[in-house]
Amino acid sequence: MDKNIVLVGFMGTGKSAVGHILAHKLNREFVDMDIVIEARAGKPISAIFADDGEPAFRAQERALVQELSARTGQIIATGGGVVLNPDNVTDFSRTGVVVCLRAQPETILDRVAHDSHRPLLESDPDKAAAIRELLAHRKPLYEAIPLHVDTDHRTAREVAEEVLALYLGQAN
């Protein structure tokens, strides 16, 4: 029962909110990968993308995945693009139960429309089109994850309860 719970999914699907609830409920460490990367880099992800490029960010992300997947007993909220490298999901699956959170593009847009820290959306005036395009590109990667929870029209607490039920069913 000390396997990690790893939340993956597109931006705005609720990974951080659900992760906080699960960590509190299970009395476990919560790790938001984006926050850790920002702290280690000393700048926001949008600045990492702007200054160093997406490949530099993905390298930092990969190193953190390797570090976190070597430990257990954590609730981990990944960045939305962690699935772009299949080794990340493989590593997380070794020591955790990976659950993909999903939401419709309209829900995602509603949730992230006013965020200023979404580097893949910042430069696009048509955020809805950018979300649909990114989702379409990543869809097969998200679908390859066996466990899914839809977050549309649900509270973070409701989603956390479903994730916990999936975890309990997988961890035994």
Fill in the amino acid letter for 47.
Answer: A
Q: Please tell me the predicted confidence (pLDDT) of residue 125.
A: 62
Chain centre to alpha carbon of residue 3:
17
Q: Mark 11-41 as b/e (b = at least 16 C-beta within 10 Å).
A: bbbbbbbbbbbbbeebebebbbbbebbbeeb
Do 103 and 150 meet the contact criterion of CB atoms below 8 Å apart? yes
What distance in Å separates the CA atoms of residue 48 and residue 80, rounded to the nearest whole number? 16
Domains and CATH numbers, the chain: 4-171 (3.40.50.300)
- The pTM of the full predicted model, rounded to 2 decimals, is 0.91
pLDDT of residue 118: 56
pLDDT number for residue 137:
92
* pLDDT at residue 124, rounded to an integer: 59
Would you give per-residue pLDDT tens digits along the chain (172 residues)?
Answer: 699 999 999 988 999 999 999 999 999 999 999 999 999 999 998 889 889 998 999 999 999 999 999 999 999 999 988 999 999 999 999 999 999 999 998 898 887 766 656 555 565 567 788 888 889 999 999 999 999 999 999 999 999 999 999 999 885 5
Give the C-alpha separation, 57 to 53, whole Å. Answer: 7
